[in-house]
Amino acid sequence: MYHDVCEQICVMCQERGIPVLIGGPYFAQPEVISKWVKIPGLSGLVAGEVELELPSILQTLLSQGNLSKHVGIMVAQGANSPKGQIAPPLLNLDLVPIPDFSDFPWDKYPNKIVPVITGRGCGWGVCSFCSDVTSSAGRTYRSRSSKNVLTELQSHHKQYQASRFVFTDLKLNSNVEVWRSIISGIQTIAPGSQWIGSVHVGMEGDNGLSEADLRNAAISGCVRLTTGLETGSQRLADIMKKGTRIDAISSFLQHASSAGISCRCTMVLGYPGETSDDVQASADFLARHTFEIERVSLNRLNIIAGTTLQRSIKSAPHKFKGITILQEDDAQALVKHQNSVVGTLKHRRAVMHLLTEVHRINSRELSERAREFE
């Protein structure tokens, strides 16, 4: 989404002889790389996870050397394909230094909220529409050790007096051991902490989200959890490859809200194969859980380049009735499309029912515990 802005920055820097490196989460997709690497004035495009090599890369940049010798740096090569190699996923995340927030303008914010990530990728990683798992930090799941995560929390608490943490993992309970170590250890190493994160209510034998786990999480300072509901229709959830059971999400919401945790859900509208009955099932689900869900994020489906959904539509369009691809915007990794099903009267009526339930939930005042992270 910042392609045009980055173009302007590169032009301004080129006029002043300033080298420019650009990196971002989606430069692991060849079609996106090919659009960005040709920006005039761009010295190199960071593709993949290069944190441990960054000092060496910067030395080459400043000495005007050949950046493409570094794995993870792509450079333009005339009309030919970009020169370079995408860096593979980092395997030992404990080697990555703890982030340094000492120059962050904490005084400009009402609360010190520090982002922490315990693992990259997703322990499930199969949802067909998900672009996070095909981003640079996706591409398989890797976890930090419990000790390493707790050391970071303790460091931020001591150095910045931070006691508010947002775990940015796609699925914080991907590694159940780390998940439980946060719950059992955070108050010891960072007393008075509160924290939020996202979880996946998967069908594993032990996903770390039992009633007892959620009670313990609340006691440890967890004030908000978000989960990807996406739909109230089990049929559609299976098509999406969500790996969840709608009844299990119901139990999760009941147990988490009873423990005092603010629950949030993301939802998707307009997935291929969705019918008015599926949308109505989503509306009915929200109606049943009106007082257990505090906020719903309802999103119109975006088809992102590189996802399983995008590649499936491209390879077998006849299997996706009603879906018409209008344009492929590689610079923004978006596939603009039209879904003829969503325009029918029956579907629109079901959508209105869904929007009514979403509004009923989202217009309520937030619980006091969840407000500090708003």
> Which 3 state secondary structure label does DSSP give 278?
helix
Confidence of residue 227 (pLDDT cuts 50, 70, 90): very high
| Averaged pLDDT for residues 201-229 | 95
pLDDT(216) > 90: yes
Q: What is the mean pLDDT of the chain?
A: 94
CA distances from 163 to 112, 121, 148, 166 (A): 7, 26, 18, 10
- Are 220 and 259 in contact by the 8 Å Cβ rule? The answer is no
Place of tokens 């937030």: 366
Q: What is the pLDDT of residues 152-172, one digit of tens each?
A: 999 999 999 999 999 999 999
In sequence order, the β-bridge partners of residue 325 are 337
pLDDT (0 to 100) of residue 61 = 95
Q: What is the pLDDT of residues 66-101, one digit of tens each?
A: 999 999 999 998 878 899 999 999 999 999 999 999
Q: Which residues contact 218 (CB under 8 A, 6 or more apart)?
A: 256, 259, 260, 261
The two structure tokens encoding residue 66: 């050949």
Between 149 and 340, the higher pLDDT residue: 149
Q: Are strands 142-143 and 119-120 parallel, antiparallel or unpaired?
A: antiparallel
CA–CA distance, 100 with 102 (Å, rounded to integer): 6
pLDDT(1) > 90: no
Structure letter (DSSP) for residue 167 = E
pLDDT (0 to 100) of residue 80 = 81
pTM score of the predicted model: 0.92
Angle (nearest 5°) at CA 337 between 333 and 341? 145
pLDDT (0 to 100) of residue 78 = 82
